[in-house]
Amino acid sequence: MFSGAIDVIVIEQPDGTLKSTTWHIAFSAAAVVSSRKEVEFKINGEVVQIRMLVESNGIAKFVKEELLEQLSTSSAIPEVKLITTQRLESDQLIGLNLRHGRNEATFSVTTTFQGTTKITCGVYLFKWSDNFVVSDIDGTITRSDLKGHVYYAVGVKWEHNGIAELYSRIKSNGYQILYLSSRPIGQSISTKNYLNKIIQGNSTLPDGPTLVSPSSVVEAVKRELSGNPDAFKIPCLSDVKELFPTKQPFYAGFGNRETDVRSYKAVGIPLSRIYIVDSYGTVTRADSIGFMTRYDLLATEFLDQIFPPLKRKRVPSKVNLEEMMTPEFTKAEKFSQYTYWRTSPGEVGSIDDNDLASYEFHRSKLKSKNIKRRALSF
C-alpha cells in the first residue's frame, strides 16, 4: 500500500458539538519499519496533543489510554490498556481549533533509515445546515474512467468542457462540492493535485473534500473490474450523511454510470437531481424525462433554475431541524418557471408517462396564454 490520507469532513451540530467522518491515514511499508511508531499530528502547522500510532499494516490510529481495574489493593502501578480508534470525540475535535472550510492536517513518521515521511490531507469544517453537491471524478470530470488517469500522468488535458465553470458557479450559489472516487487511498494525494490543477479559461474547480477508498490498489481494481464501485460509494456517502441531525444533506449528484445513480439514490438524492454525463459530454437526468444538455450550458443557461441561490439561514432560538435542512431559495427563484415545475426536495422517484403527458398539457396551455398576451399587447 502507498502512503496517503483521505480528507475528513467535520460537521458543526446545532448545539455546538462536532462530529467527523473516519480518519483514514496510511503509511507505506517502506515508510514504516516497525509497528507502534509514534505519529506527529499537526493542524494548520500547530502540533496537536493527541497521541497516534502506526500499526503493523501501516494504518495510523488515534490512541486512548484506559486504566484496567486492579484486582488487589497493592500499591503497584495501575495497568494501562491502549485502545486505538479512527474517530475523534467532540471535545477532541473542538480542541483542534478548526476554521470553517479547509484546514490542513499533517501526519509525520520518522525512522532511522527512511528519515521523515509526511502525509497531508484536508479537514473540512461545515455547518449542519449546509447543502452538498456530490461529484464523481473518473468519467464525470474526466472524459473517461481510464484515460483520465493516463492522460493526466503525461500532461494531456482530458476533462469535460465547462466543468470548472459549472462547479464554480454552483459553489457561488451557496452549495458545497464533495468529490468522490473509488480510487485507492494511495492515490489520494495525486487525485487532489489533479483536481487542483484543472484550469479551463478563467475557471478552476472549487475546493472541496475529496473522498477516495481506504482500500489498496489491488482491491480498488478488483472492485472496478467487477462493476461494483458502489460497494464503496454508498457506505462512504452514508458515513457523511450520518453526521447530520436530519438525513438529507445532499442536494444533487453528478456521475457517469448506473452505479453512480444507485449510490446517489441510496442516500436520498432524487432522480431528478442526479445528472449523468457520457464520454461525449452529453448530460441527462436520471429520471429519463428526455432532458439533455452540456456542462457549459448548465453553467450559463440553467444554473439558477437547477441550483437556485441559497439564502443564508439564521438559527432561531427554537430550531426546527427539518426546516433548517431544507434548501431555501431566493424569492426570485421561487417564482421562476423551473422552480414551479421542479421536483420537491424530499421527493424521490421517476416521472412516468402520465406525469409527462400532464406536464406537456400544462406547458402548452401556458404557451398559448403567453401568445395571446403578447398579441393583446400590440
How do the pLDDT tens digits run along the chain, 378 residues long? 578 999 999 999 999 999 999 999 999 876 665 667 899 999 999 999 999 999 988 999 999 876 555 555 555 666 667 789 999 999 999 999 999 999 999 999 988 777 899 999 999 999 999 999 999 999 999 986 554 444 444 444 579 999 999 999 999 999 999 999 999 999 999 999 999 999 999 999 999 999 999 965 445 444 444 455 568 899 999 999 999 998 789 999 999 999 999 999 999 999 999 999 999 999 999 997 788 999 999 999 999 999 999 976 555 555 566 565 566 655 444 444 444 445 554 443 444 455 455 545 555 565 565 555 545 544
Between CA 205 and CA 224 the distance in angstroms is 25
Say which DSSP state 326 is in. S
225 within a domain of the structure (yes/no): yes
Between CA 236 and CA 21 the distance in angstroms is 9
348 within 8 A of 268, measured Cβ to Cβ:
yes
Same domain, 119 and 145: no
Say which DSSP state 268 is in. T
373 within a domain of the structure (yes/no): no
Between CA 161 and CA 301 the distance in angstroms is 15
Q: Which three cell numbers stand for residue 171?
A: 459553489
355 within a domain of the structure (yes/no): no
In single-letter form, the type of residue at position 294 comes to: R
Same domain, 148 and 208: yes
8 within a domain of the structure (yes/no): yes
What's the CATH code of the domain at 35?
Answer: 2.60.40
Same domain, 174 and 213: yes
293's CB contacts (< 8 A; 6+ apart) are: 282, 283, 301, 302
Domain of 180 in residue numbering reads as 130-325
Boundary of a domain, candidates 105, 126, 147:
126
Question: What is the pTM for the complete model shown?
Answer: 0.79
134 within a domain of the structure (yes/no): yes
Same domain, 237 and 274: yes
Same domain, 28 and 147: no
C-beta contacts of 60-67 below 8 A and 24+ residues apart: 60/25, 60/26, 60/27, 60/107, 60/109, 61/85, 61/86, 62/23, 62/86, 62/87, 62/88
53 within a domain of the structure (yes/no): yes
SS3 at position 248: coil
